[in-house]
């Protein structure tokens, strides 16, 4: 099966593959034995590469000798499921967001990720977006995403959408609508924190302290601070996760070998940390290497189990 534009194209191998995906514990040929069951990678970017702006696509391809393979995964969700089987990952949050001016992704990315994940919705968790500045009728769009399209989480990317996460307090009505509707649907909101190297990104928007208002104003909204503020605002993220009961943090995009240097007290917030890779972002190791290094860290088995398995099930059952 290939996924092109707004349609799936069926190839002869699909009948067998679809039957296999009904068993979430199936293993592709040559798959390694899993270290543990039920791991969720909370932050992976499988995207429609045909939407990328040329300069953003060039950045994606830098330092990625596997770029053509990654692009192919975006065309064939069953092949991507084979890949995560080999790595030993049970579920993946497939992160997409609207950013036509910086990245090239239009509102159509929501339909794309919904269809991509529909092949195995128990394993591929669709993450979509309403652009706070550019999307018309945000209330209607949120109803469509959280209802018809089955989007499991909403992504806000401040440096790529050029918005502070708390701008609803300054008159950006659409942003408040997004949070209220997500709260109503009990859908988490993932907010990019930290810097971005993509052309046109504005890193002043990446300071997570502006998310503090969200914790005060939307106490029932589950918020995931993506990337833990790396590489500038790790202490801020640590503070926010401890302060707000509804805040979590994913550790994607942080080299696992450096994780405890960035967060020496990570185990204190083990109940609030979500394992993720940010694969295949520029410079991010492959998923198997990332997982192996994380498993080797001097953290308790209880903490690793929470970060790899249990916490993700709390945020996205």
Q: What is the pLDDT of residues 239-263, one digit of tens each?
A: 999 999 999 999 999 999 999 999 9
The pLDDT of residue 223 is 98
Domain presence at residue 62: yes
- The tally of domains found in the chain comes to 1
CATH of residue 155's domain is 3.20.20.140
Per-residue confidence (pLDDT) for residue 253, from 0 to 100: 97
Query: pLDDT tens for residues 127-139?
Result: 999 999 999 899 9
Domain-embedded: residue 284:
yes
Domain that holds residue 175: 37-315
Does any domain span residue 211? Answer: yes
Q: What is the CA radius of gyration of the chain?
A: 18
Query: Quick one: 31 exposed, middle or buried, by C-beta within 10 A (0-12, 13-18, 19+)?
Result: middle
Residue 8 is inside which H or E element, if any? strand 7-9
2, part of any domain: no
- For residue 268, the SS3 value is helix
- E-assigned strands of 129-203? 153-156, 189-192
Cα distance between residue 316 and residue 250, in whole Å: 13
21 in a structural domain: no
* Residue 11, domain member (yes or no): no
**Predicted local distance difference test score (pLDDT) of residue 314:** 97
Instruction: Provide block-wise average pLDDT over 10 residues at a time, the chain (317 residues).
Output: 42 33 36 70 97 95 90 96 97 98 98 98 98 95 97 98 98 97 98 97 98 98 98 98 98 97 98 98 93 97 98 98
Q: Where do runs of H (alpha helix) occur along 146-282? A: 158-161, 173-185, 212-217, 234-243, 259-262
Residue 24 lies inside a defined structural domain of this protein: no
In a domain, 101, yes or no: yes
């Amino acid at each position: 099966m290939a996924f092109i534009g707004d349609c799936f194209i069926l190839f002869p191998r699909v009948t067998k593959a679809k039957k296999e995906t009904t068993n979430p514990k199936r293993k592709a040929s040559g798959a390694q034995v899993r270290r543990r069951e039920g791991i969720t990678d909370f932050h992976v970017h499988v995207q429609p590469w045909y939407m990328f702006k040329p300069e953003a696509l060039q950045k994606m391809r830098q330092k990625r000798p596997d770029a053509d393979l990654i692009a192919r995964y975006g065309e064939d969700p069953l092949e991507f499921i084979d890949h995560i089987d080999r790595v030993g990952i049970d579920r993946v949050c497939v992160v997409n967001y609207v950013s036509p001016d910086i990245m090239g992704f239009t509102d159509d990315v929501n339909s794309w990720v919904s269809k991509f994940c529909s092949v195995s919705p128990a394993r591929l968790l669709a993450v979509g977006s309403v652009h706070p500045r550019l999307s018309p009728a945000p209330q209607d769009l949120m109803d469509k995403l959280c209802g018809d399209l089955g989007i499991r989480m909403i992504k806000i990317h401040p440096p790529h959408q050029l918005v502070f996460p708390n701008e609803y307090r300054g008159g950006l009505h659409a942003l408040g609508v997004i949070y209220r509707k997500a709260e109503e649907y009990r859908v988490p909101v993932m907010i990019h924190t930290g810097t971005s190297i993509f052309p046109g990104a504005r890193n002043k928007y990446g300071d997570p302290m502006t998310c503090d208002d969200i914790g005060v104003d939307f106490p029932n909204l589950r918020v995931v601070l993506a990337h833990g503020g790396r590489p500038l605002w790790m202490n801020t993220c640590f503070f926010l996760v401890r302060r707000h009961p509804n805040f979590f943090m994913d550790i994607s995009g942080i080299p696992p070998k450096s994780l405890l240097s960035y967060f020496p007290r990570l185990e204190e917030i083990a109940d609030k940390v979500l394992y993720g890779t940010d694969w295949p972002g520029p410079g991010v190791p492959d998923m198997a290497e990332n997982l192996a290094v994380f498993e080797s860290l001097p953290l308790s088995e209880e903490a690793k189990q929470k970060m790899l398995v249990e916490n993700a099930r709390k945020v996205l059952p």
